[in-house]
């Protein structure tokens, strides 16, 4: 970019006080998040570590651990690095000291609110988005403060061009609000409770579009920005390749946003969305490894520092773990691999390899590099830092290795069939027991990582005590007068037009020819990358197109936003629009009446009916207790799953589920068809003492559910909210909800009392039992007279008993295989088993 140098200099005092605050918060919340991780790992190996206290159970602490690790530990580290590096890269003080401190204290208040509400059972039950709606509003507000402060800093910069680290910061800042707001669209029913406006399949797609990209744009892009700043600083070398940085950035943010559906392979999600997620996940290999290589090769000519500098050790190990995680993620998105690894510990190992290795080690490297410089001293003890590295590395490898082995072992246990084609290990718990030693190894690995982190905290605390904090003051050249083109000219430039044309052409090919779906998308992506390379390499008077773009923050931000919106709109809108505008389903019957062409025909037993008032309350208790952390409600179309759990799950069975409860990990068995499988007494005994019904279970006791009462005064408001979301409750249903709930509760309590169990009909345990007994079945009796007249209750028809000989393989796909038609409800899988 051509500039006219003014020759003036300006004195700048950086706001390092807020950087210091975020760094200290990083250390504090890191200890909290890692300690919670060790506690929940202990609970998985020793169920007694739940202590019989409702707010200390695994189901409640596990989401607290993930939120503390992601948003408290990594979040504070990210903000510290962004605020520190942005001031140096832009050669100016932060836009507003006031906004900086509002951002800091607001973020800490959010974390404290999360720490108070999640253990108390206030949750939305969405992974990485459990926070209740008032806290969601706080997150959105504080993020706006952060964005305004950042762009104010950019606006008053004394450096004409945006360095590569700033590109990644901008992508993070504009993408997170889009993801967070869409996924957290809620309809409140009270001050601390709400329902997702999306339901069933739509909610699942939106959640994992958010969940995957929260990892991409909160745990990846900002940390890559830190890598591009701090790794060259520590190495004393420039970034290896400017052109590779361009390709890495644009390809990553465009491709990443499409990959969310790979979390939902072989579920009731439409097959086109699953395939789309898988294809784009595989394409992520290229930009991700391009970024990794750009980081590693930055150390060229300085590899000797790896032996002596602990900061370099942390950075290089972190980048290596980034490469490992971004190889493993696309690998797990391949359908055959996902059929084995999904719901197992393999996913846990994958997630923690990225979080502990990539995010944790980058945070450690940034802290070790920053704190001595901000306190104008040397690190207290470099040998301690070196010991931290090796202790932490050993902990990660032990943790991830044990989870890889455990995950593959679990998957093989659950899918093993005998010579006759039936389950070799029919008891679900057998798979868990086989993983016992590996779970203890995971606990040891996590403990080692925590010990290493505590050593770092001690080292950096002593470093701060030894030195004296002082904000940096520098003299920098004043912002030169820019001689450049307009933002609009850059936005409509040849590289943008060419890239968009390729994307549109690829999309048209994909729509018109589903058989060759993957080919045009891949081809389009290759051409898009070629266009970006062309843009980065093209030289012209005053600089290349991309160099000119780097001098126009507004144009750069708009194009970044467009890049991420294309994928989000393409994935979400079709599914949501189809659900809203097409008559969803018509029950198949024996009348011979042919439904309209735009109506999907579904057997009545697979057509979800609204929950009764008591079942709705029981579902809320299920969510509050965090049962979704261990139990799925999605049976995939594999023989081993239909033999174990019952018929595979259909999309029509979840249309009134706000939010969905498909889960992502099976520490306990799938519950989608548990209704009617066991009597009420079994469920009561299982909740009071899980080992009395399932020997070897690591589930905590839930005895307090027997003494906690359901507040039926709130049921009416919940049903009104559900009706607004499309659940067909009538005025009569809503008006009589309390009486109906108490009547159904009395029915269940009477059944338990007949088995010598004294229990109140309005307790939470009765509500949970009502909900569990409803899963996979139609409406259940809500009054004594209905129970005496079963013909009045449209229960799910009985399924045939298992025949002596296995049926033909055409009815049940082989393990690792399922076609889209069968998967989406056209087939009649699972007729071999009852499983109710």
Binding residues for heme b: 65, 350, 352
| Residue 295 tokens, joined | 């980081």
Coil/strand/helix, residue 753: helix
By the 8 A CB rule, do 65 and 115 touch? no
If one counts every other C-beta atom within 10 angstroms of the C-beta of residue 117, the result is 18
DSSP state letters, 647-661: SPP-GGGGTT-SS--
Tell me, rounded to whole angstroms, the distance of Cα 127 from its chain centroid. 5
Start-end of H helices in 190-241: 200-218, 221-235
Q: Where are the beta strands (DSSP E) in 734-830?
A: none
Angle among Cα 89, 90, 94 to the nearest 5 degrees reads: 110
DSSP state letters, 398-445: HHHHHHHHHHHHHHHHHH-B-TTSSBSS--HHHHHHHTHHHHHHHHHH
Coil/strand/helix, residue 585: strand
Known binding residues are 65, 212, 262-263, 350, 352
Please state whether the peptide bond connecting residue 659 to the residue before it is cis, i.e. omega within 30 degrees of 0.
Answer: yes
**Whole-Å CA distances, 160 to 91, 163, 493, 677:** 10, 10, 20, 68
By the 8 A CB rule, do 219 and 355 touch? yes
Please state whether the peptide bond connecting residue 271 to the residue before it is cis, i.e. omega within 30 degrees of 0.
Answer: no
Bridge partner residues of 585 (DSSP): 600
The DSSP 8-state label assigned to residue 479 in this structure reads P
Task: Determine the Cα–Cα distance for residues 62 and 64; give it in Å rounded to an integer.
Answer: 5
Q: Is 621 left (phi over 0), alpha (psi -120 to 50) or beta?
A: alpha
Q: In residues, how long is the chain?
A: 836
Crossing angle of helices 494-512/553-581, nearest 10°?
20
Task: Determine the Cα–Cα distance for residues 271 and 826; give it in Å rounded to an integer.
Answer: 12
By the 8 A CB rule, do 448 and 392 touch? yes
> Which uninterrupted H or E stretch holds 601?
strand 600-603
Task: Determine the Cα–Cα distance for residues 53 and 50; give it in Å rounded to an integer.
Answer: 7
> Which uninterrupted H or E stretch holds 477?
strand 473-477
By the 8 A CB rule, do 734 and 720 touch? yes
> Which uninterrupted H or E stretch holds 148?
helix 133-155
| Residue 22 tokens, joined | 């975020």
Task: Determine the Cα–Cα distance for residues 687 and 682; give it in Å rounded to an integer.
Answer: 9
End-to-end CA distance of the chain: 69
Burial of 468 (0-12, 13-18, 19+ CB in 10 A): exposed
Known binding residues for Cu cation are 212, 262-263
Task: Determine the Cα–Cα distance for residues 404 and 413; give it in Å rounded to an integer.
Answer: 14
Task: Determine the Cα–Cα distance for residues 204 and 568; give it in Å rounded to an integer.
Answer: 14
Start-end of H helices in 583-679: 613-624, 639-645
* 1 Cβ contact list (under 8 Å, min separation 6): 160, 161, 482, 483, 484, 542, 543, 547, 548, 550, 551
The DSSP 8-state label assigned to residue 586 in this structure reads E
């Amino acid at each position: 970019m051509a500039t006219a140098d003014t020759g003036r200099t300006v004195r700048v005092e950086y706001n390092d006080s807020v950087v210091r605050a975020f760094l200290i918060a990083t250390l504090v919340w890191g200890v909290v998040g890692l300690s919670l991780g060790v506690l929940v790992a202990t609970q998985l190996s020793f169920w007694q570590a739940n202590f019989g206290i409702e707010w200390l159970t695994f189901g409640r602490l596990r989401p607290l651990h993930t939120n503390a690790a992601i948003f408290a530990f990594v979040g504070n580290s990210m903000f510290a690095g962004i605020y520190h590096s942005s001031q140096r890269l832009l050669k100016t003080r932060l836009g507003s000291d006031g906004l900086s401190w509002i951002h800091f204290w607001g973020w800490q208040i959010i974390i404290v609110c999360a720490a108070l509400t999640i253990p108390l059972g206030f949750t939305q039950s969405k992974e990485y988005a459990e926070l209740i709606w008032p806290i969601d509003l706080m997150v959105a507000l504080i993020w706006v403060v952060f964005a305004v402060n950042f762009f104010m800093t950019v606006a008053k910069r004394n450096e004409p061009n945006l360095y590569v680290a700033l590109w990644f910061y901008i992508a993070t800042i504009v993408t997170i609000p889009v993801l967070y707001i869409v996924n957290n669209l809620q309809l409140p029913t009270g001050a601390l409770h709400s329902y997702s406006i999306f339901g069933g399949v739509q909610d699942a797609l939106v959640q994992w579009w958010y969940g995957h990209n929260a990892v991409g744009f909160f745990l990846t892009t900002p940390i890559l920005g830190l890598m591009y700043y701090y790794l060259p600083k520590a190495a004393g070398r420039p970034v290896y390749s400017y052109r590779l940085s361009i390709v890495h950035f644009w390809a990553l943010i465009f491709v990443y946003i499409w990959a969310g559906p790979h979390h939902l392979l072989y579920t009731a999600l439409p097959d086109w969305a699953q395939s789309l997620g898988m294809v784009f996940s595989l394409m992520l290999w290229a930009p991700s490894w391009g970024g990794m290589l750009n980081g590693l090769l930055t150390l060229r000519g300085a590899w000797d520092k790896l032996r002596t500098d602990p900061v370099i050790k942390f950075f290089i190990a972190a980048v290596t773990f980034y490469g490992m995680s971004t190889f493993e993620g696309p690998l797990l998105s391949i359908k055959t691999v996902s059929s084995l690894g999904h719901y197992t510990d393999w996913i846990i190992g994958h997630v923690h390899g990225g979080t502990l290795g990539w995010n944790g080690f980058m945070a450690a490297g940034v802290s070790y590099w920053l704190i001595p410089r901000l306190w104008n001293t040397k690190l207290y003890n470099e040998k301690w830092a070196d010991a931290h590295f090796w202790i932490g590395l050993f902990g990660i490898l032990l943790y991830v290795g044990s989870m890889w082995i455990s995950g593959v072992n679990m998957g093989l246990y659950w899918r093993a069939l005998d010579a006759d084609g039936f389950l070799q290990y029919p008891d679900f718990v057998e798979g868990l027991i086989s993983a016992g030693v590996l779970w203890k190894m995971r606990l040891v690995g996590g403990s080692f990582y925590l010990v290493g982190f505590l050593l770092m905290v001690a080292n950096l605390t002593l470093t701060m005590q030894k030195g004296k904090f002082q904000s940096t003051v520098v003299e920098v050249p004043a912002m030169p007068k820019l001689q450049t083109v307009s933002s609009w000219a850059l936005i409509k430039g040849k590289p943008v037009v060419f890239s968009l044309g390729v994307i549109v052409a690829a999309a048209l090919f994909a729509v018109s020819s589903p058989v060759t779906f993957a080919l045009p998308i891949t081809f389009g992506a290759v051409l898009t990358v070629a266009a970006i390379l062309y843009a980065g390499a093209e030289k012209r008077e005053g600089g290349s197109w991309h160099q000119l773009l780097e001098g126009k923050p507004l144009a750069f931000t708009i194009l970044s936003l467009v890049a991420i919106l294309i994928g989000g709109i393409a994935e979400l809108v079709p599914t949501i629009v189809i659900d809203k505008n097409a008559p969803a389903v018509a029950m198949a019957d024996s009348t011979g009446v042919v439904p309209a062409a735009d109506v999907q025909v579904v057997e009545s037993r697979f057509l979800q009916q609204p929950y009764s008032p008591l079942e709705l309350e029981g579902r809320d208790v299920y969510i509050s207790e965090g049962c979704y952390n261990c139990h799925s409600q999605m049976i995939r179309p594999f023989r081993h799953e239909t033999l174990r759990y019952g018929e595979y799950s259909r999309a029509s069975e979840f249309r009134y589920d706000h939010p969905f409860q498909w889960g992502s990990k099976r520490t306990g068995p799938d519950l989608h068809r548990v209704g009617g499988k066991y009597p009420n007494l079994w469920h009561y005994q299982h909740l009071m003492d899980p080992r009395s019904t399932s020997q070897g279970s690591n589930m905590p006791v839930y005895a307090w559910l027997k003494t906690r009462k359901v507040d039926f005064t709130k049921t009416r408001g919940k049903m009104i909210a559900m009706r607004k979301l499309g659940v067909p409750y009538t005025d009569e249903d809503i008006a009589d909800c309390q009486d109906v709930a108490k009547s159904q509760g009395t029915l269940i309590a009477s059944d338990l009392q007949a088995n010598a169990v004294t229990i109140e009909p309005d307790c939470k345990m009765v509500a949970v039992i009502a909900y569990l007994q409803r899963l996979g079945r139609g409406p259940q009796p809500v009054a004594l007279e209905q129970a005496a007249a079963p013909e009045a209750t449209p229960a799910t028809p009985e399924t045939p008993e298992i025949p002596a000989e296995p049926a033909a393989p055409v009815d049940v796909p082989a393990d690792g295989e399922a076609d889209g038609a069968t998967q989406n409800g056209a087939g009649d899988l699972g007729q071999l088993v009852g499983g109710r």
